[in-house]
Every structure is written in C-alpha cells, then in structure tokens.
Structure 1
Amino acid sequence: MPVTINTPLTLQSGLTFPNRLVKAAMTEGLADPRNRVTDAHSTLYRRWAEGRAGGLITGNVQIDRQHLERVGNVVIDASAGDHEIGLLSRWVAAAKSKGAAFIMQVSHAGRQTPKLVNPRPAAPSPVALGLPGGQFGEPRAMTQDEIRLVVEGFGRATRLAKQAGFDGVQVHAAHGYLLSSFLSPLANRREDDWGGPLENRARLLADCVREAKIQGGAAFSVSVKLNSADFQKGGFSHHDCLMVIGMLNGLGVDFVEISGGNYEQPRMMDMDGLEPSFEEPKHSSTREREAYFLSYAKSVQDRASMPLMVTGGFRTLAGMNAAVATGEADLIGIGRPLCVDTATPKKLLSGEIEAADRWESRLRIGPGIFGPNSPIKLIKALNGFGAQGWYYEQIRLLAADKPADPELGVLQAFLAHQRRETSGAKAWRAAMP
C-alpha cells in the first residue's frame, strides 16, 4: 500500500501521529499580561483539534520574558510553578481531545524581539536587523553566562512541558530567532567558542537539544525546526543546513521540520524579501512550485537519519500525497489555511476537497495607499507584516469561538494588530515584577 497523508507515523520516541498532516507553529498572541496560558488558547486548540490533523505544534513558547516575539507569547521561565503547569495542562487537554499529538515549540526571540518589549535585546553579536520602521532595538552581544542560561531555559521548558502532558517539544532554530541567528555568519560574528566555524555556530543549538533530551527522557519527543537556508548572501546556507543535519543525526532528534528565511528575507511567509534572494529553489515540478522548500528537502532526506516535516506552501491533496509517497516529506506542515477553515485537515484526509485555500495570494497593500513615491522596501515590509496582521486577527476570532472573517481588509487588520500590540505592551510592562 502506498503511503498517503492518511498513513500513521510512529517516531523513534514512540510518539505516533495518526496521520501525516501537522498544524505547524503559528504565533497565537493570546497569553495574559503575565505571559500565561488563557482560556482562549484552549478554545483555539480545541477547534484545531476538531480539524483532525495528526499533530498540533504550538506557537513559540518563550524561555525569557525579556525576549518575546510579541507580548502575547506564553513564557516558561524560572518563575513558572504549579499554577502555570495547571494552565498548560488545560491547554494540553483541549489540543489532545481528538487524538492529535501535541508538541510545544520552545524559542528565544533574540534580536527579533520588538523594541516595545526590549530596546536592547540579546543576540550573538550587536548586528541590527536590516528592516525599515524601527520596530526592533539595537541588539547587544550575549555573555557566556547568558548563553548558558539559554541552554538551561530550553531544558526547563522541556521538563515542565512533559509534566503538563505535552507529547514533545520542538526546539526553534529557524526564522532568525536566537538559535537561528547563532547559526548565521551574518548575525553571528563572535570570535569565541560560539562563533566562527559552523561547528561553533551550531554549538548552542546542539547544547539545547542535548539538555532537552536529558530533561524529557527517551520516551519524550524532541524535534528541531531548521532553516533550509536564510536566502541571504553570506548567511546560513543550504550546505550549512546539511552539515547541521549531520550533527543532529547523533543527538536522537525525533524529526526535523524544514522551513526557511527570516524577518529580513521572509520566505516562510511566502513573501518577497527586502533584498534579492539567494539560493532560491530551482523548481522542476508543479509540486515543488507549490511547496517552496520541497526541493531542499530532497537533499536533506539524503543526509537525515530522522523523519522530515516540510512546511511552507503545501495546498493540494495531490501534492501532499505525492510528497509522502515518494519519501520527500514524512510529515506535511500546514499553517495559514487553518486560520480561516479549521476543518481543512479533515476535508483533505477524507477527500472532500482537493486543495486548501491560498488566502495569502490576495493579501497585498498597494503602493497607491502611501503615495506613488513610497520606497519599495517600505511596501514590501508592509505587505509581509500586513499579511501577518490579517492572520493574527483571524486567530483571535477563532480563539473567541467566532467564525473567521475572510473579507477583512489587510490594511484594516494590520492597523488593528498594531494597536493591539501597542496596548498589549503597555499592559505587559505594567504587569512586570
């Protein structure tokens, strides 16, 4: 029998996905001002669970309240105790209510922490993001002690995730966040044991995985999200990715999710970057044009000893089934379609639909709104962040147990999201100890 998206998959840890569709991590922004799980998380994940994906991966749960991707992130830091574990357990109960595996994505935002949260975020080196708009602060180089605290933080989050009932953790080393920036020669210009050759740049990722494995134990899933490339000249390359995969082979990683890009070159959002993109996939088939990291996944499969999850652009049932049948992907990550139709996995698995909707193709802010002389970088950045805002607003509707609103204007959503983040930051600062 050929493998299809309906075929279960059991990982080395013993964790079984009842099918090959996985809700990929998407930031929820639903935590309270003290960065704790809320009822909105349970409502949202109950609805996603009813969609019958084989696995659900949370949005990035941060290990440091001073380094958030946005103020609504859930945080597990040294102050977490029984109350926080109880809230996490309620989240788990909702997400696992229909049989899906539930995995916590653990992260540290690093230099991609908004200035509203931290004007001087920690980073491997003091290299600022090349983005217009001033949303991000001036990063500072981390000390050796701070780096060691990051490793402890990933371990702590793993231990508490297991205690709360999660099936595993995903170490987030993609998209330009802290572990990803350590991997990048552009962002990491250190001359100590944490910088220079790839072995040093990958040391923090390897140490975090080792600590997570220790804290989770053999029967707890530890996976990694890794860029296939940053798509920036001089950045983390696909060759680097293959070398890191070789390092992860010996660490007992359950599976690796392949994605790509960062805020400066946002390929993970199916958006153009601010500069010409390097190492773009050489599309040779309709399937590869649909799933824009699939051409990279083939070479990763040749190197990897663990299963591979591919996220980014998959929309058609035929493309998904072909990818798992040929072994190009073991798991298919789906994100944005679930922000509008939570039943998308169930419809694909049953054959009710042949393809998920591609809403992002309609989400563009035209230059005319800001005048004919608007800088192209500004328009590109607004398109990326505008689309993000649109999906964030859909997630908020779902979490309030309301229907999504596909007719919502992208500019309206972008401005509403910005207002919400600004007011959220004020509430977050007021709640800080």
Structure 2
Amino acid sequence: MVKLQDQLKIRANTFKNRIIKASMSEALANDLGQPNADHIGLYEVWAKGGLGCAIAGNVMVDARAKNEPGVVVLENERDMARLKQWADVGKRYGMIQLLQLSHPGRQCPRGLNRETVAPSAVAFSSALSTTFATPRALTETEILDIIRRFGESARLAKLAGFEGIQLHGAHGYLISQFLSPLTNIRQDQWGGNIENRMRFLLEIYHEVRKQTGDDFIIAVKLNSADFQRGGFSEHDAIEVAKAISAAGIDFIEISGGTYEAPAMAGAKAEKRKQSSIAREAYFLEFAELIRGQVSCPLMVTGGFRTVKGMNDALASGACDFIGIARPFAVEPQLANQLLSGQDVKYAVKPIKTGIALIDKMAIMEIIWYAAQFKTIARGRQPNPHLSPLKVLFHYARRNIGTVISGQLNSRKASA
C-alpha cells in the first residue's frame, strides 16, 4: 500500500517521497524578472523541511508577457549563475525541482505589458474587464514562436541543473486558453474541435522534449474543468489527458478553474460536495475518472490537510503524488511534519480584505502568500494571522510605479 514516505522513480530521477510543493507565484523577482537570493533562501528552507519535490511558480517564457510583477523570466542565459545556485539547493537536500513554465496570454493586468495576446480576441467578463484588457489574437507565426520559447526555456532550465519543468496548462493561462472553446474561437488548425485546441499543448511538449532529451522530466498542470458554461469540460480534459499521456508526459497535475471562475478560492471552495470534503482533495474524483485511461503518474493538488487523507488517496490508486501549496507558506517544515504523522496545523481560508472588487478578483490569494514567502526566504517565521489589508497596502505602494509606467508605455505604443 503506497504511503507518503514511499519513493517513486521517473526517468533518471527518484522522488524520495510523494509530497510535492505545488506551484505558487513567489513574486520575488525584480522588474527584469531576475531570480535572486530570496528564491534560493525560500527553496532551501523547503528543501531542508523534507520535501520530495518543489515546483516553482509561473516562470515566464517571454519578458513581454508577464502575468504580474515579481515573476521570474527565463528566455536567455542572462541569469544562469543564479539559476544554477537555485537548482543546486535541491540537489544538496535530495529535493527534485521543476520550474513551472508559463505564458499568461490574456491574463495580464492592464498596464503591466505593452499588449496582451491570446488565441482569440475574447474580452473578459464585465466584472474583470476593467482590470484585464481585450487581447489581440495571435498570428500563426507568433504561435510557433511561443512554442519555440517554451522549448528554449526548458533547455535553459536543464542547463541550470533543474530536473524538469511543468507546463502550466491550467487556471486560464495561455495553454488553458487554447484548450477552452470560450477563449479559443479560431477557425484554423489551432481551434475548433478538441483535437485542434490541444494541438498547442502537444506541440509545446514535443518541442520541449526535442530540446531537453529523454532524461528530463516534463509534467503538465491541467484543469479538470474551467467551471464556466460552454467552456473546457470534463470530457475535454479526459481527451487531453489521454493524448498528453500517450505522447510521453511524465506526470499530470490535476487542478481546475480560471481567474473568472476560481476553483480553490472563496465560494467555489466552500460549495464542494460533502463527499469531496470528507476525502479532503478537491479533484480526487476526477483523478479516479481518468486513472484507468492514462499510463503516467497523477498528482492531485488542493484540499489535503491530514496525513490520513493523503495516505488514503495514495492507497486508493487515484493519485501517485500529493500536491500541497498554500500551507507551505505558513508551515515551511510541513513535509517533515507530515512524514512524522502530524497533520497540517493551519486551516487555509479565503484571504479577504473587505474590499469587494479586490476580493472578487482573488488577487489576495497571490500577494498574501507572496508576503509570507519573502519572510521565510529571509530567515524569519511566517505569520498565519498577517493582515490582508496591510499586505495590500504594501503591495500597492511597491508596484504602483510599475503599473503607471506600463500604462504610459501602452499609450505611447498606441499613439
């Protein structure tokens, strides 16, 4: 019977246990997207804490397309020395590290980049249209360039010493936008039926494999659904999982939702079926649904809080890895705690400021945790009771210049 302590070998790499720190946006980089000592400090704390694997969050493949301030950009060898230091942290403590490669597509706040691009020029819902501009549809030449960029970023990650990468195909980012019929209304080979809509993801996988070879881990994060009427459905997700598994993907992380319909924040999390609550994990039932249809390992993230719930999920065969994200922001030694039989101490609750517009966007689910990451990286203890309003104030003061500069550049470009 599989348990948290058990090893698992994928290609040339052995995961020392089944606990994976799922990706979260660290927001620690400078305006140029460069990693720094904070990244190394943060991941060293987690590595010392017993993690089998850590997935870094939202590393951009194009400096012109950032989803938020503070993300790392990996498109050339500019920061190779620092990246090698970061990768070495995992090797010293036996923790496998994957960089999550991402392109945000339309999910870029107004003013952050010169323009936003997407499969199609589909506007956001009225509630978010003031925050996110209507994107420009990508040309086929641009699509092929982005595919190449994913491959190049993966090659650089391998050069730095990381054991692999994860393709971010969930949460409404660009790969997810291609997969959804709501955001992909193209009439060419990249749109239409699910076979065409998944072409972008499959071409990225093949490009990454070509540039990194057979000993490099390539994982993917996929939505089980995007929870929007007429959008990416469970049936679509099953077809994509089968195709990417057949292509050779090393493991699939199952998630769900988009900015417009977050799956693991606020009301969505609170309205789960009682059966799901009892088993803890948000997406375990979907994992069971596709378990017999894919040959690769599965990772389920979201909702796990007890050792029993995690071991039961592994023993059931529904998943092979337990993904945990937000608890690591307030319990950096969590992996060792779980391996010794201690449950998660702090219940994760929606981060609310009391400001309706801010809370509806769920932006605090990113920046509150990023504030904790900086604290951990600098050798201090995180504060589970940190005021969301205080975090929002400091975030706005620190990033207002970036946003204003981006708005001015956008106006110049369109003049």
Which range, TM-score by smaller chain?
over 0.9
Aligned match of 2:315: 325
SS at match of 2:2: coil
- 1:92 is paired with a residue whose SS is helix
Provide structure 2 residue ranges, at least 5 long, that are not aligned to the other structure. 410-415
Contact 2:118 2:137 in 1 (8 A): yes
Confirm or deny that 1:364 pairs with 2:352.
yes
Q: Report the Cα distance in structure 2 between the residues aligned to 1:399 and 1:334, rounded to whole angstroms.
A: 19
Q: In structure 1, how many angstroms separate the alpha carbons of the residues matched to 2:20 and 2:205?
A: 21
Looking at structure 2, the residues matched to 165 and 18 of structure 1 have their Cα atoms a distance apart, in angstroms, of: 18
- State the partner residue of 1:109: 104
1:25-69 CA-to-partner distances (Å, cap 9, x unmatched) read: 011111122111111110111111111110010011111111111
CA 380–72 in structure 1, closer or farther in 2 if over 3 Å, else same = closer
Residues 421, 295 of structure 1: alpha-carbon distance in 2 compared, 3 angstrom cutoff = farther
Q: 1:285 to 1:53 in 2, by over 3 A?
A: same
Distance 2:290 2:399 in 1: 37
1:415 to 379, 385, 393: 393
Offset at 1:429? 9.7
* Shift in Å, 1:118: 2.1
> Where does residue 413 of structure 2 map in the other structure?
none
Match in the other structure for 2:372: 394
| Cα distance in 2 for residues equivalent to 1:356 and 1:212 | 39
Q: What does 1:126-141 align with in structure 2 at a 5 Å threshold?
A: 126-130=121-125, 131-132=127-128, 134-141=130-137
Match of 1:86 among 75, 81, 93: 81
Confirm or deny that 1:7 pairs with 2:6: yes
Cα distance between partner residues in 1 of 2:99 and 2:358: 34
2:194 is matched with which residue: 191, 198, 217? Answer: 198
Alignment partner, residue 360 of structure 2:
381
Aligned mate of 2:266, from 258, 262, 271: 271
CA contact (8 A) 1:33 1:428 kept: no
Structure 1 residue matching 2:6: 3-state secondary structure? coil
Off by >4 Å, runs of 4+ in structure 1? 280-283, 424-431
Secondary structure in 2 matching 1:305: coil
Instruction: Report deviation, 1:379.
Output: 6.7
Provide the rounded CA distance (Å) in 2 between the counterparts of 1:331 and 1:40: 27
The amino acid of 1:187's aligned partner reads: T
Task: Work out whether residues 281 and 295 of structure 1, in 8 Å CA contact, stay in contact via their aligned partners in 2.
Answer: no
Corresponding residue to 1:404 among 382, 391, 408: 382
In structure 1, distance between residues paired with 2:379 and 2:16:
26
Cα RMSD of the aligned pairs, angstroms, is 2.2
1:188 maps to which of 176, 181, 184: 184
Counterpart residue type for residue 360 of structure 1:
K
Give the match for residue 212 of structure 1. 208
**Matches of 1:316 and 1:6, distance apart in 2:** 14
2:284 equivalent to 1:294: yes
- Percent of aligned pairs with the same amino acid: 41
Flag structure 1 segments of 5+ consecutive residues without an equivalent. Answer: none
Distance 1:217 1:356 in 2: 41
Question: Residue 174 in 1 paired to residue 170 in 2?
Answer: yes
Structure 1 equivalent of residue 159 of structure 2: 163
Q: Which AA in structure 1 matches 2:104?
A: A
Determine whether 1:251 maps to 2:239.
no
Residue type of the partner of 1:238? E
Letter in 2 for 1:348: L
* CA separation of 1:426 and 1:44: change in aligned 2, threshold 3 A: farther
Q: 1:163, 1:379 → 2: CA distance?
A: 40
